[in-house]
Structure 1
Amino acid sequence: MLPAKLRTAIVDDHPIVIEGLKTLLQNEQNIHLIGGFYSGADLLTYLGANEVDLILLDITLPDINGMELCQMIKKLSISTIILILSNHTERSIIMQTIQNGASGYLLKNSAIDELRHCIAEALGGKICYSKEVIEIIGRPTKNDLQGAPRLTRREKEILALIAEGKTSQMIGQELFLSPLTIDTHRKNLIQKFGVKNVAELIMAANQQQIL
């Protein structure tokens, strides 16, 4: 169970950003700031010996990118909530961080109210985006404009199972196929939808009402 005050770390390679966020958050009743970290390695060292409830994380760090760092944080502490605060606006980066364990994605120009809202949503187990990020991920991709790809019955079947979060091994057992065959179908689906990863694949299939 999370404490009344969230032990909060800020990870950014710009000291001015860390200081600005500290100033913004110092009067928040549910936030206890434990410090700022300029690199992924510094955060991981701290996390190895201390509990952190909330991490505000930038994507661009000097040693580890934020997408990879999400996975590392979750391996050390599954209950730690990660919210991305970044200037990166690429849909693929946004979706990859969520797939890697982040609970939300905000741009650095977001208002403090948006950050408060996202913290509250993340505490409730939801994924939250700032208004601008919602617009970015809602824009039609080149593939959307070309129309939905044609899928075989088997591809539709496998897509539905991928959307349920099942691994290639699990899907293979269910359909009496080898995991290698499932991996091939998975790669073909990503190619057909013109996306970069499974998170984008599921989102595109939902947008096109295939799932």
Structure 2
Amino acid sequence: MIKVFITDDHYMVVEGIRSLLMHDKDIEFIGSASNAVSCMAFLKNRQPDVLLLDINLPDGNGIDLCREIRQLHPSVFILGLSTFNQASYIRDMMDNGASGYVLKNANQRELVEAIHLASIGKTYMASEAAKTLHAAEQQKKNDIILGRREKEILELIKNGFTNTEMAEKLNISVNTVDTYRKSLLAKLKAKNTADLIRIAFLQKLISVD
């Protein structure tokens, strides 16, 4: 039997989850807490197998509480519980020891699956949350990072400077300017100067004055 405890300050959320779990023969609902203090007080005397933990609590946040519980009670597996489907919340919760992330709109099947996986030390990620994380990682990969000199060269290209004029202005050689120009074309995957400016504008690397 998997013992489950919920920490959430919304009565309807707790009751809704309890009602979804009450018919599963492998899950035992052992109680709930509405804040971090009462949660920690309960855990001093009894530990669940799985703790469903809200990220926003009236006396703190679930991310910090997750880390604290994992340090004091490593046998308790934690599932982050939230309405927030944002990459930063998901990452922070997982980085602080959660075994998964469940959205409050989860159905019975998703909730039961999450609890069963967490109880045996496996990770569960709500499909919507997984998509959010994937999209954030893809965006991170697509982020273009330019060095200080590359930014200067890009700005001068935008303003119509030739390689020779840029070299004089920046007190570097024409060959060095050409190297930076080629680097910019490669980083932004641009075919030519016009394409370079177009992409740089779309990526918000430059603005139109």
Same fold per TM (> 0.5)? yes
2:102 aligned residue: 106
* Aligned residue pairs, count: 146
TM-score in terms of structure 1 length: 0.64
Secondary structure of 1:139's counterpart equals helix
Match of 2:142 in 1: 145
Aligned counterpart, 1:9 = 5
Is 1:134 matched with 2:130? yes
Would the alpha carbon gap of residues 149 and 139 (structure 1) be closer, same or farther in structure 2, given more than 3 Å must change? farther
Q: Say if 1:7 and 1:34, in contact at 8 Å, map to a contact too.
A: yes
Cα separation, 2, equivalents of 1:76 and 1:123? 18
Larger Rg, first or second structure (1 or 2)? 2
The verdict on how the C-alpha distance between 1:11 and 1:117 changes in structure 2, with shifts beyond 3 A counting, is same
- The Cα RMSD (Å) is 1.8
Q: 1:115 matched to which residue of 2? A: 111
- Distance in 2 (alpha carbons) for counterparts of 1:101 and 1:10: 17
Report if the CA contact (8 A) 1:104-1:128 is conserved: yes
Q: Which whole-Å CA distance do the structure 1 matches of 2:146 and 2:134 have between them?
A: 19
Alpha-carbon distance between aligned partners in 2 of 1:83 and 1:77, rounded to the nearest angstrom = 14
Please give the secondary structure, in 2, of the residue aligned with 1:125. Answer: coil
CA deviation profile, 1:28-86 (whole Å, cap 9, x unmatched) = 11111111110011010010111221111110110020000101111221010111120
| Residue 18 (structure 1) shift | 0.7
| Pairwise CA distance, 1:143 | 3.1
Q: Which residue number in structure 1 is paired with residue 40 of structure 2?
A: 44
The two structures have a TM-score, normalised by structure 2, of: 0.65
Q: Does 1:58 align with 2:54?
A: yes
Matched, 1:19 2:15: yes
Structure 2 residues not aligned, in runs of 5+? 148-209
Corresponding residue of 2:77: 81
Matched residues, percent identical?
34
